[in-house]
Structure 1
Amino acid sequence: MPRPPAPARPRRTQAERTQSTQRKLIDGAIDLLKKKRYASFRTAEVAEHAGVSKGAQTHHFPSKDMLVLQALEEVYRRTQQRAINRIEAGRDAPERLLEQLVADSREFFLGDDFLLSLDLMMVDPGSTLGSDVKRLAQLYRLPVEQAWLDALVEAGHPERQAKDVVRLTFAIARGFGVRQLIAGEDEEFQHLMDSWMRMAKAMLLLSSSPSAHADQGASGSSVSRPSRASPPRRTRKKDPS
């Protein structure tokens, strides 16, 4: 008995085809920016890398900088979502929140995502691209820092110590990320972060102890909890003029 024909796949809508093409171009741009950096980045290579015609690439992203900004925003969006996922996992196990913070800072600052964003940060800050790159960093990275701070405060740690721990963790990882550009990968990073985690745990434990709260109450000081950060809305691609 002959097999019945397979049901025809529904045709994609124009919006779905547009989204698929843009996704290929953005992913291709991210790959090439990580390999070649901004100075050697060419949109024609992106179209070839993504398997998209040059005409389609020009239609969706008429300029090099427009495509670069969309690629950077996508990188920031993904790294922000990974941070949020780690924070949620840490809320289920507050004792592991610091480990999640260190893992998040390591993945971002010692990875290609940070090097890509750092390369674009070196663009002339007075240019339109330079100001847009800075705006995206503020839009996505500062809320990540705030979200980690909120999570530590919600876990019962005073704001001052929590802020110190978050910013110092990011500063150490960021410094090693820059050092990689000079000397390559450094096996000492894990040793340094292990030492820092012991100090950070001590800071948080001491500041959260009953005696510390008693001293704080006696001094009359109070700590206001910051508002919880929420992920920013994605910026729309400007229509070509």
Structure 2
Amino acid sequence: MIEAAVKLVRANGLRGLRTVEVAELAGVSRGALLHHFKSKHDLLVAVIRHVNEVSLVESARRAHLAQNSGNDPIEGIIKDAQDFYFGDYFFIELAIAMSADSDSRILKRETYRNSRTSRFSVEAAWLEALMSSGVPKQLASDILSLTLSVVRGYSVRTLIEKDPEQFSRLLKVWRDIVRQHLQTAMANDQKNRG
């Protein structure tokens, strides 16, 4: 039922979500849907929790894998951010957060709180992965924040322009900039310590 609601919110936006369509898509009766979710608000809160939980689990898994595999964590951060910010879950949260419906103030707060908790946990996992590869905490934090901002910015840009080739090219440029910056900063840090 939650996945059906996710699909419908992504396809039709928050205002386009109808519980009768959720029940139909999920293959359950409207009564069964109402048994689990007393209102549309309850269903949407469950959707918010679900999308944040799923994305947090997957991102944490990826960060842990990067931390323990010796793979380039920058590459992992970019891939993970692309999957989230170009995926349905981000756009669902964005639709809810940007809703002009005055009845959704409580839902907006719930979305904000859940998203904030989830995304900060994801960032903490990636920060740990960067630091475990030898990057000092402040430098790791800066690189993580900037990288997420680049990917998130291009995600939002897809609302006005879809150019995946340009985005891929610019991500390669960003990776090169980050690697060069890391090399320089790490060399300076070692020189200062020595």
Aligned with residue 49 of structure 2, among 73, 92, 95: 73
Q: Are the equivalent residues in 2 in contact too, given 1:158–1:207 (CA < 8 A)?
A: no
Secondary structure at 1:183's aligned position in 2? coil
Tell me the matched-pair count: 192
Secondary structure at 1:39's aligned position in 2? coil
Q: Quote the residue 2:95 is aligned against.
A: 119
Q: Are the equivalent residues in 1 in contact too, given 2:64–2:125 (CA < 8 A)?
A: no
Secondary structure at 1:182's aligned position in 2? coil
Q: Does the alignment pair 1:54 with 2:59? A: no
| 1:156 maps to amino acid | G
Q: Are the equivalent residues in 2 in contact too, given 1:37–1:119 (CA < 8 A)?
A: yes
Q: Does the alignment pair 1:207 with 2:192? A: no
Q: CA deviation at 1:99?
A: 0.8
Greater relative contact order structure (CA < 8 Å, 6+ sep): 2
Q: Does the alignment pair 1:150 with 2:131? A: no
Q: Are the equivalent residues in 2 in contact too, given 1:80–1:140 (CA < 8 A)?
A: yes
| 1:52 maps to amino acid | V
CA–CA distance in structure 1, aligned partners of residues 158 and 43 of structure 2: 27
**Deviations 1:96-127 (CA, angstroms, capped at 9, x unpaired):** 21111111011111222211111111135981
Q: What residue ranges of structure 2 are gaps of 5+ in the alignment?
A: none
Give the 5 Å matches for 1:71-150: 71-123=47-99, 127-150=105-128
Using the size of structure 1 for normalisation, the TM-score is 0.74
Using the size of structure 2 for normalisation, the TM-score is 0.91
Q: CA deviation at 1:185?
A: 4.3
* Percent identity for Structure 1 against Structure 2: 30
Q: Are the equivalent residues in 1 in contact too, given 2:66–2:73 (CA < 8 A)?
A: yes
Q: Quote the residue 1:163 is aligned against.
A: 141
Q: What residue ranges of structure 1 are gaps of 5+ in the alignment?
A: 1-24, 219-241
Q: Does the alignment pair 1:177 with 2:140? A: no
| 1:36 maps to amino acid | N
Q: Are the equivalent residues in 2 in contact too, given 1:80–1:144 (CA < 8 A)?
A: yes
Larger radius of gyration: 1
Aligned with residue 14 of structure 2, among 20, 34, 38: 38
CA–CA distance in structure 2, aligned partners of residues 147 and 179 of structure 1: 26
Q: Are the equivalent residues in 2 in contact too, given 1:157–1:207 (CA < 8 A)?
A: no
| 1:148 maps to amino acid | W
Q: Are the equivalent residues in 2 in contact too, given 1:87–1:151 (CA < 8 A)?
A: yes
| 2:162 maps to amino acid | G
Q: Does the alignment pair 1:186 with 2:164? A: yes
Instruction: State which drifts further: 118-127 or 172-181.
Output: 118-127
**Deviations 1:57-87 (CA, angstroms, capped at 9, x unpaired):** 1111011111112112211111112211211
Q: CA deviation at 1:30?
A: 1.0
Q: CA deviation at 1:95?
A: 4.0
Q: Quote the residue 1:7 is aligned against.
A: none
CA–CA distance in structure 1, aligned partners of residues 110 and 178 of structure 2: 34
Q: Are the equivalent residues in 2 in contact too, given 1:87–1:148 (CA < 8 A)?
A: yes
Q: Are the equivalent residues in 2 in contact too, given 1:162–1:204 (CA < 8 A)?
A: no
